[in-house]
Amino acid sequence: MNMMKVLEPIVAEFPELQELHAIRDASKLPRTCLGRGWVMPTRSDISLSTRLCWRFKAHDTVCSSKPMLQLSDQLSYRYRQYLLSPMGRTRLAWDFLAVLFICTEMITMPLRTFDASLRRVELSVGLLMFWQLDILMRFISSFYKDGKLVQNHRTILFSYARGWLTFDVTFVLIDWLVLLDLFLEKDALYFAQCGLRLVRLARLNSLTEPMMLRLTEQAVIAVAKIAQISMQVLLVRHLMASAWFHIGRLDAEHGWVAKADLSMTSVWYKYTTSLHWMYCQLGFGGTEIEPGTTAERVFGIVVALEGLAIFSTLLVTITTHTTLLTKSAEERRHKFQKLGQFLSSLHVEPELVLRITCFLQHAFAVKERAPCLGKL
C-alpha cells in the first residue's frame, strides 16, 4: 500500500506532521510504541523531545521530524474530544431539561409562600443537583463567536467565568442555604431567591434559541415566540404575586393581608387574591386592595414600572409576529384568488381545478418551510 495514502488522514488531523521525513525500523531505534501514542526516544544521542509515532505493520514505524505538540496543545486536543456542540442532540436535550426545570422552579417556589407544607425537599435537592451539573456542562460546551465555532478550552473557561459563572454559583449557594436553613435573615434570602429566578427567567431566551433555529415554518416560529413571551409574563406575574403576599404579611397590623382578613382563608384564596391584584396593576380590572405600609407602596411602584415594561414588550412581540402571519396569509390568499380567476376564465373542469389547487397549496407550504428550495 502507498505509504502517503496511509499518512493522509494522519497529516490532516495533525498539521505539525506535514513534513514526515523518515520511516524507520523499530529495532534500530528502541522506542515504546503501542499503536499511536506519545513516545520518548531512549538513545542518548537523540534530542529528548517527545515525538509522535505510528506502527502500521509489525515492523514499520513512522515518526515526525519535528517535536510534538506542546502539553497545552495536547490538552486542548483531548479537551475538544469531549466538547458538546451547541446544536448537538445532547446539548439540545440538556437545554430542554433546563427550560423545564426553570419553569418548575418558577411555579413551585412561590407557592411555598402561601403554605410551607407545599415544600418538597426531594424536588429541591434534585433541582440543586441539576444546576450544579449544569455548571460543569457549561465548561464543556462550545459556542459560536463572530460566526466561528469556539473550541479552545481557555476561551470557553474565560468566557463562562466572565459571564454566568458568578451568577450560577451564587444561585446554587443561596438555594443550599435556604434548604439547610443556615441563614437567619430568611426574608432577605427569600427576596434574593426571587431576584435570581427573575434573572434566570430572562436567560430562557438564550436556552430556547437553538431550539427555535430548528423550526422552519414562519407560522410555527411566530406562534412559538408568542407562546414563549406569554409564558414568561405568566411566570413573572406568578412570582410577583407571591412576593406581594410575603410583603403584606410582614406587618401583622397595617399590612394588606391583615386588612383583607386573609389569615383564616384557604391557600388558593390567598394566591388568587394576590394574583388578581398583580394583573390589576397592568390595567385589567380593579381591586379594593391598597398598599398599607411603606414597603408595600415601594413594591407597588416597582410592580407598576415592571408591568409597563412587560406590557410594552408583550404588545410589540405579539404585534410583530401577528403582522408577519397576517401578511403571509394575505399574500397566499391573494395568489390563490388570482389562480381561481385564471382557471375560471379558461373554463377548466372543477375536478382539475381542485387537483391543481391542492398541488400548489402543497408546493407553497414546502416553499415556506424551505425558502431556498423556491429560489432553486
Q: Where are the chain's structural domains?
A: 3-69, 80-214, 324-375
**Ramachandran sector of residue 20 (left: φ over 0; alpha: ψ -120 to 50; beta: rest):** beta
Residue 372 has pLDDT above 90, yes or no: no
Over residues 61-72, the mean pLDDT reads 47
Q: What is the pLDDT of residues 236-257, one digit of tens each?
A: 999 999 999 999 988 888 889 9
User: Are the C-beta atoms of 140 and 84 separated by less than 8 Å?
Assistant: yes
Does pLDDT of 290 surpass 50?
yes
User: What amino acid occupies position 162?
Assistant: R
| Alpha-helical regions (H) of 86-217 | 89-114, 121-139, 153-162, 165-180, 186-202, 204-213
Which of the four pLDDT bands, split at 50, 70 and 90, describes residue 102?
A: very high
User: Is residue 25 over pLDDT 50?
Assistant: no
**pLDDT at residue 362 in the model:** 80
Average pLDDT value for residue range 134-144? 89
Span 281-307, average pLDDT = 86
pLDDT tier for residue 47 given thresholds of 50, 70 and 90:
very low
Is residue 204 a contact partner of residue 235, using CB atoms and an 8 Å limit? no
Residue 217's DSSP bridge partners are none
Instruction: Lowest mean pLDDT of 2-16, 160-174, 180-194, 341-355, name the range.
Output: 2-16
Residue 141 confidence (pLDDT) above 80: yes
* pLDDT for position 42: 41
> SS3 of 1, please?
coil
Confidence tier at 221 by pLDDT (50, 70, 90): confident
Confidence at 48, pLDDT banded by 50, 70, 90:
very low
Looking at the chain, the whole-number percentage of residues with pLDDT higher than 90 is 17
> Would the pLDDT of 72 be above 80?
no
Q: Is the pLDDT of residue 84 over 80?
A: yes
Of the chain, the percentage scoring pLDDT greater than 70 comes to 75
Residue partners of 239: CB distance under 8 A and separation at least 6: 106, 109, 110, 194, 197, 198
pLDDT of res. 10 = 53
The length of the chain is 376
* pTM (2 d.p.): 0.67
- By the 8 A CB rule, do 179 and 121 touch? yes
Arithmetic mean of pLDDT, 352-360: 83
Per-residue model confidence (pLDDT) at position 132:
93
Q: Residue 224: exposed, middle, or buried by beta-carbon count in 10 A (0-12, 13-18, 19+)?
A: middle
Mean pLDDT rounded to a whole number for the chain: 76
Task: Extract the C-alpha cell encoding 313.
Answer: 414588550
CA 345 to chain centre: 54
Q: Is 60 helix (H, G, I), strand (E, B) or coil?
A: strand
Average pLDDT over every residue of 202-224: 82
Contact 128, 175 (CB under 8 A): yes
pLDDT for 228 beyond 60? yes
Which residues are within 8 A (CB) of 375 and not within 5 positions of it... i.e. 6 or more apart?
Answer: none
Contact 24, 52 (CB under 8 A): no
Three cell numbers, residue 58: 509489525
Q: Tell me the β-bridge partners of 25.
A: 60
